[in-house]
Amino acid sequence: MRADTVAQAEASPAALQPFAELGLTEAEYARIAGILGRRPTSAELALYSVMWSEHCSYKSSKVHLRQFAAKAPPSAALLAGIGHNAGVVDIGQGYAVTFKIESHNHPSYVEPFQGAATGVGGIVRDILAMGARPVAVMDALRFGPAAAPDTARVLPGVVGGISFYGNCLGLPNIGGELDFDPCYAGNPLVNALCVGVMRHDDLQVAAADGPGNAVILFGSSTGPDGVGGASVLASAAFGASGASEAAGQAGPAAGEAGQAVGGAAGEAAAKRPSVQVGDPFLEKLLVECCLELYAAGLVVGIQDLGAAGVACATTELAAAGTGGMRIRLDAVPLRDASLGPPEILMSESQERMMAVVAPDRVRAFLDVCAKWEVRAAVIGEVTDTGRLVMTWHGDTVVDIPPGSAADGPVYDRPAVRGPDQDALADADPAALPRPADGGALRAALLTLIGSPGLADKSWVTDQYDRYVRGDTVLAMPEDGGLIRVDEETGLGLALATDGNGRYCRLDPYLGTQLVLSEAYRNVAVTGARPLAVTNCLNFGSPEGRPPP
């Protein structure tokens, strides 16, 4: 396959490129050209488009999220904080815990089963990349009205996907939430949490340090799943037909950019699933393989592959390390031989990890992978050039300063107070009708306990394995989950997830305080002392139109 090379980019500065279809603004496209001193190649354009997407760069939320690090009270327990794949806290006796929660909302609406399944898989790899053994998962779910026809499609699919992936992976599901509200019709929330346990010394870094060290891609082979945008690039070839018909479909959807951008030009591409397909068996092998690699001291740095796949892993590892990396994209194991550089960079094929390994440890690394029947390939090495250079059968197709892709633009978007916020604040709940006698009170009580949000959840939770690993002390329907960490000392770990969309709709600031307070209480009633919090904020598009 011929690829758009750096030499071609220099020779054809005026070539039209489908940056808008990939979700980049004209100003962002110009900024990329400014960084490179030429137009980007199609592979570079693919890389910047996914790295600068809202999903990967947090370009619209960064200015707000900075408050977390700036305002958090200092804690001696914090071993790794904001900026890492997941936070790590000390829980005593030499143990540390890492936990993280992420959304997989858009894919779970498009294809509930695989969308929810790969949501579990993705968060587990984040925890694994920190050096920890994943020990439990939780899920916070929101659906439209229980009686709505589409909820009957989405809810069983989501629950089935979580059950399929989590059970097969061997992680106990120890709690979470399930609630219904009309505002989630057509926009369900599927938030997956994973918690991992490690010894303090086990902490791994996501950095490509040490010139000459090998870069190894291992786990699943790379396929065309989740490449919608790049398919435009590959088939449109700068102004040819195809780009225009796919426009509008391929742009990353705000909030979940790059996760489930369906749509692609061409008949073959149209048949591809727009949501990635999960393989929990391979993920289980990947977990055991990684933990054995860590224990043998064979890893210098490691990163999971999630959104933006190889593009994200290479740029972030390089940017956080010595600074340079040389990658042979043609060395990436493919499950579809027709893929070119842009698609390989953007592919979101699941169950993949990238490791940085000292040259004299590569043989031992590959042996451990072979033991677990995990495919591994050396695809490049760390350099001290400060450039991320990628070749395709000898031709250079990417040559960028990695930090420019890893640290995207930052926007302070205009914000206005919602037009109905004052009316909501003024509404007096005292004016609501109240039960006047015992009969009305009884009816109100029955309505409450019969409502889907409060009713028995065992139809859902019976589909999750809460026993596997044999360390589950508390799980559903308890307020918080509790996992034993050490059999000898009895050290344990409690977790709860909470959210309250209605409180936050009425008053975002106070509502969020109440949500945190509820989570603290749910942990406290297990007997544990609350130690750390994380969050998963699910908002609409930051570029959405202001309300009328």
Partner 1 sequence: MRIGVITFPGSLDDRDAARAVRLAGAEPVPLWHADRDLRCVDAVILPGGFSYGDYLRCGAIARFAPVMSELVPAAGSGLPVLGICNGFQILCEAHLLPGALTRNAGLRFVTRDVRLRVENTGTAWTRSYQPGARITVPLKSGEGAYVADAATLAGLEAGGQVVLRYDGGNPNGSAGDIAGVCNAEGNVVGVMPHPEHAVGELTGPSADGLGFFAPVLR
Stretch that binds partner 1, among 42-50, 56-64, 90-98, 458-466 (CB under 8 A): 458-466
Q: Which is nearer to partner 1, 49 or 173 (CB)?
A: 173
Q: Comparing C-alpha atoms, which of 78, 56, 192 is closest to residue 533?
A: 78
- Kindly identify the residues of this chain, within the stretch 401-440, that bind partner 1 according to CB under 8 A: none
Q: How far is it, in rounded angstroms, from Cα 155 to Cα 166?
A: 16
Phi-psi region at 352: left, alpha or beta (left = phi > 0; alpha = psi -120 to 50): beta
Query: With CB under 8 A, what is the number of residues at the site for partner 1?
Result: 29
| Residue tagged 């042979």 (tokens) | 328
**Pick from 457, 469, 505, 521: which binds partner 1 (CB under 8 A)?**
469
Q: Is the peptide bond before 477 cis (omega within 30 degrees of 0)?
A: yes
- Check if the beta carbon of residue 114 is closer than 8 Å to that of residue 161: yes
Phi, psi at residue 268, to the nearest 5°?
-65, -45
The burial of 277, by beta-carbon neighbours within 10 Å (0-12 exposed, 13-18 middle, 19 or more buried), is given as middle
Stretch that binds partner 1, among 61-69, 107-115, 398-406, 467-475 (CB under 8 A): 467-475
Q: How far is it, in rounded angstroms, from Cα 80 to Cα 198?
A: 13
Q: Which is nearer to partner 1, 168 or 185 (CB)?
A: 168
Closest approach, Cβ 165 to partner 1, in A, equals 11
Q: What track of x and - describes contact with partner 1 for positions 126 through 165 (by CB under 8 A)?
A: ----------------------------------x--xx-
Closest approach, Cβ 156 to partner 1, in A, equals 9
470 lines the binding site for partner 1 (CB under 8 A): yes
Which ranges of 321-374 would DSSP assign to H, the alpha helix?
341-346, 362-371
Closest approach, Cβ 129 to partner 1, in A, equals 21
Q: How far is it, in rounded angstroms, from Cα 493 to Cα 194?
A: 13
- Check if the beta carbon of residue 92 is closer than 8 Å to that of residue 344: no
With DSSP H G I counted as helix, E B as strand and the rest as coil, what are the percentages for the chain, rounded to 5? 40, 20, 40
Separation of CA 110 from chain center = 17
Q: Which is nearer to partner 1, 43 or 290 (CB)?
A: 290
Closest approach, Cβ 466 to partner 1, in A, equals 6
**Pick from 168, 185, 203, 377: which binds partner 1 (CB under 8 A)?**
168
**Pick from 111, 225, 471, 479: which binds partner 1 (CB under 8 A)?**
471
Q: Which is nearer to partner 1, 308 or 374 (CB)?
A: 374
Q: Which residues pair with 382 in a beta bridge?
A: 325
- Check if the beta carbon of residue 112 is closer than 8 Å to that of residue 89: no
- Kindly identify the residues of this chain, within the stretch 249-288, that bind partner 1 according to CB under 8 A: 279-282, 284-285
Q: Which residues pair with 73 in a beta bridge?
A: none
- Kindly identify the residues of this chain, within the stretch 66-95, that bind partner 1 according to CB under 8 A: none
- Kindly identify the residues of this chain, within the stretch 472-501, that bind partner 1 according to CB under 8 A: 472-473, 484, 487
Q: Which is nearer to partner 1, 32 or 127 (CB)?
A: 127
Q: How far is it, in rounded angstroms, from Cα 356 to Cα 313?
A: 11
Q: Which is nearer to partner 1, 95 or 464 (CB)?
A: 464
Q: How far is CA 27 from CA 82, 98, 239, 409, in A?
A: 29, 38, 20, 10
DSSP 8-state class, residue 340: -
Q: Which is nearer to partner 1, 72 or 455 (CB)?
A: 455
213 lines the binding site for partner 1 (CB under 8 A): no
Q: Which residues contact 531 (CB under 8 A, 6 or more apart)?
A: 77, 89, 91
Amino acid letter, residue 259:
Q
Angle at 397 between CA 393 and CA 399, to 5 degrees: 130
**Pick from 385, 463, 500, 512: which binds partner 1 (CB under 8 A)?**
463
**Pick from 81, 145, 170, 409: which binds partner 1 (CB under 8 A)?**
170
Residues carrying an active site annotation:
55, 104
Q: Comparing C-alpha atoms, which of 402, 213, 398 is closest to residue 319?
A: 402
Q: Which is nearer to partner 1, 394 or 470 (CB)?
A: 470
Q: What track of x and - describes contact with partner 1 for positions 283 through 322 (by CB under 8 A)?
A: -xx-------------------------------------
Stretch that binds partner 1, among 145-153, 185-193, 333-341, 459-467 (CB under 8 A): 459-467
Q: Which is nearer to partner 1, 279 or 381 (CB)?
A: 279
Q: What track of x and - describes contact with partner 1 for positions 20 through 39 (by CB under 8 A)?
A: --------------------
367 lines the binding site for partner 1 (CB under 8 A): no
Amino acid letter, residue 74:
P
Q: Are strands 173-180 and 133-143 parallel, antiparallel or unpaired?
A: parallel
**Pick from 146, 358, 378, 468: which binds partner 1 (CB under 8 A)?**
468
Where along the sequence are the contacts to partner 1 (CB under 8 A)?
A: 160, 163-164, 167-168, 170, 279-282, 284-285, 372-373, 461-473, 484, 487
